């Protein structure tokens, strides 16, 4: 065993080197995914398959999540605003639509799709790695980065905004249902308040966030699957890591984007 | 008759951390010969095959295919060389998300302007060559047995009529009857195509059925090479132990020391 001059620095030093190695690998992987997504041949069938899987089959889970979130926000905002204001109707409508479009829609969709699709990408690509299917692609004159990774990243980046747009509508509808049928608000007044304070930028910001989150979750899912360890344990760890790191990075990115557009 | 060398491996070394797997290995494979690479587990047979395919980067040495250096070659050169290869992976490595016929013509369809009917015809013919009926064409790999998967993988490997065929443990996990079928199909494909073949296997029955020559790997190098028929009369104690499967011998002592 080697003698290190400062032994207590050995473990943090090794951890830092591993971290830097992983970051470098991730950066190169991300760069290659973007590079190959823009170069022919384009595997449109693969892209379409992912679009269906991400955009279509994620609709129920995103819809249900945003529906109940919209309902909860309506109740909670009513509890909050009724303590200092009598104008609950307009406050609740505004809070619901702003929180859903700017924040909860994209974040919840990102987290739910990370759990559903990010994990599935990591498991599928990890299994392909373990069963030599990725090596087989290589020997069959097909670049794995172009055939496997680029379509997934492209599809997730394009589909998340669509999912969030649908989720926004469902979330606002959830708030409306609670406001009208449980809190007894006037429907037309509630809708008028909803539209009065909603700006196009609120929706656009949510869609930009969604695209970024889609990119993050697909890159993390593919990256952890692509570099999955051997055996069932390796694939299991890759799947877990894909979901955990996606969730963390989505929340970090959410804060950064919100901070960039924040105006006092 | 003198045969020209199609694959020339010289001074090939590969280590994983401190474990040296290939150590200055030399091996020439003549055009049209079927050679089996044998050796105990962990002697680097699969690593050698992956180095030949460029799936693993060797630390040093040279691998030329028809005179073209492949180590450190550009992606384009590597892709051009890979077109000469057909590979049968240990587990078949069929793509789960594609139907059987799509797996078979996966590379065959690239760069060819063929319609669906033509592609299916090509797949059907390739499957018939490995004794599979057209009814499997629209199934997925998970819906057929391991032996059938191996045959589909063989059909995929040979459909392009490659010059060089690589087989990684072609009979692992198969019953003796199915192994016999696979061996016969491999030998017939190699003969039909006049291909150069490298087979990695522990299965001596399979090696006798498939190979013309045998190369024994030990300690990261080729320690014996010769015609398959000479294996039984060898005075090399390592090869002798491996071929006959003796529990005691130099391989056992080597494994205990490692």
Encode pLDDT of B167-224 as tens digits.
999 888 888 888 888 899 889 888 998 999 999 988 888 999 999 999 999 988 999 9
Residue A23, both tokens: 């970051």
Q: Which residue of B has its CA nearest to A142?
A: B107
Overall average pLDDT of the B55-71 stretch: 92
Write down the pTM of the prediction.
Answer: 0.86
Neighbour tally for A203: CB within 10 Å:
19
Q: How far apart are CA A21 and CA A47, in angstroms?
A: 30
Q: Which residues fall within 8 angstroms of residue B138, CB to CB, at 6 or more apart?
A: B99, B100, B101
Q: Which pLDDT score, from 0 to 100, does residue A214 have?
A: 97
Phi and psi at residue B24, in whole multiples of 5°? Answer: 60, 50
Encode pLDDT of B83-103 as tens digits.
899 999 988 999 999 999 999
Per-position b or e across B170-204, b if 16+ CB within 10 A of its CB: bbbebeeebbebbbebbbebbeebebbbbbbbbbb
The reply to whether residue B53 touches residue A138, judged by beta carbons under 8 angstroms, is yes
For chain B, which residues make up each domain, given as ranges? 1-6+29-56+66-84+162-258, 97-161
The reply to whether residue A136 touches residue B55, judged by beta carbons under 8 angstroms, is no
Q: Which pLDDT score, from 0 to 100, does residue A70 have?
A: 95
Q: Which pLDDT score, from 0 to 100, does residue B110 have?
A: 86
Burial of A42 (0-12, 13-18, 19+ CB in 10 A): middle
Q: How far apart are CA A150 and CA A32, in angstroms?
A: 9
Q: Which pLDDT score, from 0 to 100, does residue B17 have?
A: 86
B49 touches chain A (CB under 8 A): no
Encode pLDDT of B237-246 as tens digits.
888 888 888 8
- Best probe of the A interface among B50, B54, B95, B116, by most A CBs < 10 A, is B95
Residue B87, both tokens: 């590979």
CA distance B50 to chain A (A): 9
B179 touches chain A (CB under 8 A): no
The reply to whether residue A133 touches residue B82, judged by beta carbons under 8 angstroms, is no
Residue, of A168 and B234, whose pLDDT is higher? A168
CA distance B175 to chain A (A): 20
- Contacts of residue B85 in chain A, CB cutoff 8 Å? 139
Per-position b or e across B16-34, b if 16+ CB within 10 A of its CB: eeeeebbeebebbbbebbb
Encode pLDDT of B119-144 as tens digits.
999 999 999 988 899 999 999 999 99
Residue, of A251 and B233, whose pLDDT is higher? A251
What interface predicted TM-score (ipTM) does this complex get?
A: 0.87
Q: Which pLDDT score, from 0 to 100, does residue B8 have?
A: 95
Ranges in chain A, pLDDT < 70? 1-4, 85-89, 264
Phi and psi at residue B11, in whole multiples of 5°? Answer: 60, 35
Sheet hosting strand B213-218, strand order edge to edge? B85-88, B164-168, B196-200, B34-38, B213-218, B221-227
Q: Which pLDDT score, from 0 to 100, does residue B38 have?
A: 92
pLDDT of residue B117 exceeding 70 = yes
pLDDT of residue B2 exceeding 60 = no
Q: How far apart are CA B148 and CA B246, in angstroms?
A: 33
pLDDT of residue B1 exceeding 60 = no
The reply to whether residue B55 touches residue A141, judged by beta carbons under 8 angstroms, is no
CATH number 3.40.50.300 given to B1-6+29-56+66-84+162-258: yes
Q: Which pLDDT score, from 0 to 100, does residue A41 have?
A: 84
Q: How far apart are CA B127 and CA B138, in angstroms?
A: 12
Q: Which residue of B has its CA nearest to A50?
A: B97
Q: Which pLDDT score, from 0 to 100, does residue B242 have?
A: 84
Nearest to B155 by CA among B187, B181, B189: B189
- Contacts of residue A136 in chain B, CB cutoff 8 Å? 87, 89, 93-95
- Contacts of residue A138 in chain B, CB cutoff 8 Å? 53-55, 82
Q: Which pLDDT score, from 0 to 100, does residue A205 have?
A: 95
In Å, how far from its chain's centre is CA A91? 29
Contacts 24+ apart (CB under 8 A), B108-111: B108/B159, B108/B160, B110/A141, B110/A142
């Amino acid at each position: 065993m080697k003698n290190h001059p400062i032994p207590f620095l050995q473990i943090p030093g090794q951890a830092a080197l591993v971290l830097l190695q992983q970051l470098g690998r991730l950066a190169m992987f991300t760069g290659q995914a973007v590079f190959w997504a823009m170069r022919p041949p384009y595997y449109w069938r693969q892209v379409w398959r992912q679009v269906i899987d991400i955009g279509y089959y994620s609709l129920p889970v995103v819809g249900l999540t945003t529906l109940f979130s919209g309902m909860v926000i309506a109740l909670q905002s009513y509890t909050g605003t009724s303590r200092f204001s009598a104008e609950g109707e307009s406050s609740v409508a505004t809070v619901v639509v702003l929180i859903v479009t700017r924040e909860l829609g994209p974040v919840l969709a990102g987290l739910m799709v990370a759990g559903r699709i990010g994990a599935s990408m990591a498991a599928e690509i990890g299994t392909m790695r373990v069963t030599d299917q990725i090596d087989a692609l290589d020997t069959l004159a097909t670049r794995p980065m172009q055939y496997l990774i680029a379509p997934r990243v492209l599809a997730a980046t394009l589909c998340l905004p669509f999912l969030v747009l649908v989720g926004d509508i469902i979330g606002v509808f959830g708030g409306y249902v609670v406001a009208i049928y449980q809190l007894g608000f006037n429907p037309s007044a509630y809708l008028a308040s909803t539209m009065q304070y909603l700006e196009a930028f609120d929706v656009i910001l949510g869609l930009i966030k969604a695209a970024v989150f889609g990119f993050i979750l697909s890159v993390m899912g593919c990256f952890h699957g692509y570099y999955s360890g051997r055996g069932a344990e390796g694939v299991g760890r890759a799947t877990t890591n894909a979901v955990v790191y996606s969730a963390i990075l989505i929340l970090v990115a959410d804060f950064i984007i919100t901070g960039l557009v924040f105006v006092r | 008759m003198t045969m020209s060398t199609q694959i020339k491996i010289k001074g090939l070394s590969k280590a994983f951390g401190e474990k040296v797997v290939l150590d200055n290995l030399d091996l020439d494979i003549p055009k049209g010969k079927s050679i089996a690479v044998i050796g105990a587990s962990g002697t680097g047979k699969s690593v050698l095959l992956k180095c030949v395919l460029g799936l693993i980067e060797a630390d040093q040495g040279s691998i030329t295919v028809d005179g073209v250096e492949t180590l450190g070659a550009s992606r384009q050169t590597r892709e051009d060389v890979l077109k000469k290869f057909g590979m049968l992976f240990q587990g078949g490595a069929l793509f789960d998300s594609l139907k059987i016929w799509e797996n078979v013509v996966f590379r065959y369809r690239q760069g060819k302007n063929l319609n669906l009917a033509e592609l299916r015809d090509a797949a059907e013919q390739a499957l018939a060559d490995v004794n599979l009926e057209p009814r499997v064409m629209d199934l997925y790999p998970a819906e057929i047995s391991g032996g059938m998967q191996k045959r589909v993988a063989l059909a995929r490997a040979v459909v392009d009529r490659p010059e060089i065929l690589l087989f990684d443990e072609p009979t692992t996990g198969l019953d003796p009857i199915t192994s016999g079928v696979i061996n016969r199909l491999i030998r017939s494909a190699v003969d039909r195509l006049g291909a150069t073949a490298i087979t990695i296997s522990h299965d001596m029955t399979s090696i006798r059925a498939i190979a013309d020559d045998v190369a024994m790997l030990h300690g990261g190098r080729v320690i014996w090479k010769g015609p398959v028929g000479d294996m039984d009369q060898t005075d090399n104690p390592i090869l002798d132990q491996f071929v006959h499967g003796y529990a005691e011998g130099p391989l056992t002592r080597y494994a205990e020391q490692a």
